[in-house]
């Protein structure tokens, strides 16, 4: 069947890039960025802006991002829009060829930046058709390759795609997490001034567990009035308590929450037993759900983009949110002591919980935006507001 699939997609003249799905489906295009191969799960992101922030979000580790917006890379890149220094997405798929940068903030070109970061790009793709395929058949494993000479061993690429185990069961958090403890110094960005500095006044101390965090999370905690210390994903309870936190933040991150939960959940449960204020987002939200007794599950296609509507069940308010997740807390498994606070208006999946009798809550989406709307900044203020 695989042979038939690529016989239906003969290599067109001038093709320097290819995407080979694990089911044998082949998509040809024009390669840019890093020359080589990348393997991962193919997903789609509906954001219209912020491609550099998307590509440097550690939550995309092990994933190939298909951008549904056709013009990607046209405002170049700069050092200010990086969300992390660790690996994020392994590659990207776009509709139009990347044009020279047109922004006064640009310090470099997107294609060269991808090459420097070791990330493969593929342009000239019908991203609408690929997105529809993902929506119908689910997010596939695949290999993308870039060779300026257009030489590709399709059977070998197919085998690599089929041999890749997939994200389910993978603990990627410890691979993208910081490995040392550090005090966070930055604050939010202002045009013409760059990033501010964290004030050194008396502020409630938040220990943030880094499962693959975006930097803008820590900046927003500072903006909301906290002092932040960041610790690795595998930080022990003793390490966290020794820092004398007023509260603990659980960050976003990649991979299967059940795999990360093997070492993260016991720590969170011990914090909850001590009535420590806890706030989690994305993977951190899923860790909190597991710690409370719920289960998580792999989603069919996931949620990724900066325009996802979420309903706040307490008052019916709808927030437009930024999301990036392929797993979710199963709201059918929430125990009696856990209240569902938010749901997706796209598919009804869980987007928020609060643990009754505890100062602990989490949301599935990214209230720090970057990219995305800022409807949900109130959550950082809510968390800082409950710190003793």
CA distance 202 to 200: 7
Q: Specify whether the CB–CB gap between 304 and 327 falls below 8 A.
A: no
Half-sphere exposure of 216 (CA within 13 A, CB side): 23
Task: Kindly provide the residue ranges of all beta strands, DSSP E only, lying in 139-250, ordered along the sequence.
Answer: 141-146, 182-183, 186-190, 194-197, 205-210, 227-232, 247-250
Measured at the alpha carbon of residue 309, what is the angle toward residues 306 and 314, in degrees to the nearest 5? 135
Helix, strand, or coil (residue 374):
coil
**DSSP designation for 145:** E
Annotated catalytic, 366?
Answer: yes
Q: Among 161, 172, 164, 184, which residue's Cα sits nearest to residue 86?
A: 172
Name the active-site residue from 37, 41, 53, 368: 368
Name the active-site residue from 43, 92, 282, 351: 282
CA dihedral 283, 275, 237, 167 (to 10 degrees): -10
Residue 183: which residues within 8 A CB-CB, separation 6 or more? Answer: 228, 229, 230
Consecutive H or E run containing 280? strand 278-281
Percent of residues in the chain assigned helix, strand, coil, to nearest 5: 25, 30, 40
Q: Specify whether the CB–CB gap between 252 and 283 falls below 8 A.
A: yes
CA distance 5 to 26: 7
Q: How many other C-beta atoms lie within 10 A of the C-beta of residue 10? A: 9
By annotation, the residues acting in catalysis are 282, 366, 368
């Amino acid at each position: 069947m695989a042979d038939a699939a690529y016989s239906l997609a003969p290599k067109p003249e001038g093709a320097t890039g290819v995407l080979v799905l694990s089911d044998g489906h082949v998509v040809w295009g024009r390669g840019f960025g890093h020359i080589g191969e990348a393997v991962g799960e193919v997903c789609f992101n509906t954001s219209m802006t912020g491609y550099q922030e998307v590509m440097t979000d550690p939550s995309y580790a092990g994933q190939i991002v298909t951008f549904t917006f056709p013009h990607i890379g046209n405002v170049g890149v700069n050092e200010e829009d990086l969300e992390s220094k660790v690996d994020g997405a392994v590659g990207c798929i776009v509709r139009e060829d990347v044009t020279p940068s047109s922004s006064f903030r640009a310090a470099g070109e997107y294609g060269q930046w991808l090459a420097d970061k070791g990330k493969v790009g593929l342009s000239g793709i019908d991203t609408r058709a690929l997105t529809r395929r993902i929506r119908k058949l689910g997010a596939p494993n695949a290999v993308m390759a870039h060779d300026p000479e257009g030489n590709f061993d399709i059977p070998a690429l197919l085998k690599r795609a089929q041999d890749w185990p997939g994200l389910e069961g993978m603990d990627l958090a410890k691979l993208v997490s910081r490995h040392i403890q550090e005090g966070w110094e930055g604050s939010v960005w202002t045009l013409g001034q760059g990033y501010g500095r964290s004030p050194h006044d008396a502020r409630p101390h938040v220990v943030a567990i880094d499962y693959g965090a975006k930097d803008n999370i820590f900046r927003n905690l500072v903006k909301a009035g906290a002092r932040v210390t960041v610790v690795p994903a595998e930080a022990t309870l003793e390490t966290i308590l020794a820092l004398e936190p007023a509260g603990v933040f659980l960050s976003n991150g990649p991979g299967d929450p059940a795999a990360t939960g093997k070492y993260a959940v016991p720590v969170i449960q011990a914090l909850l037993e001590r009535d420590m204020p806890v706030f989690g987002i994305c993977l951190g939200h899923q860790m909190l759900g597991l710690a409370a007794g719920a289960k998580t599950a792999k989603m069919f296609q996931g949620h990724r983009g900066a325009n996802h509507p979420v309903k706040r069940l307490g008052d019916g308010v709808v927030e437009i949110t930024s999301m990036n997740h392929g797993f979710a807390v199963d709201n059918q498994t929430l125990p009696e002591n856990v209240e569902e606070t938010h749901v997706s208006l796209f598919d009804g999946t869980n987007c928020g919980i609060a643990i009754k009798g505890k100062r602990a809550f989490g949301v599935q989406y990214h209230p720090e935006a970057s990219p995305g709307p800022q409807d949900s900044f109130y959550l950082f203020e809510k968390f800082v507001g409950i710190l003793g």
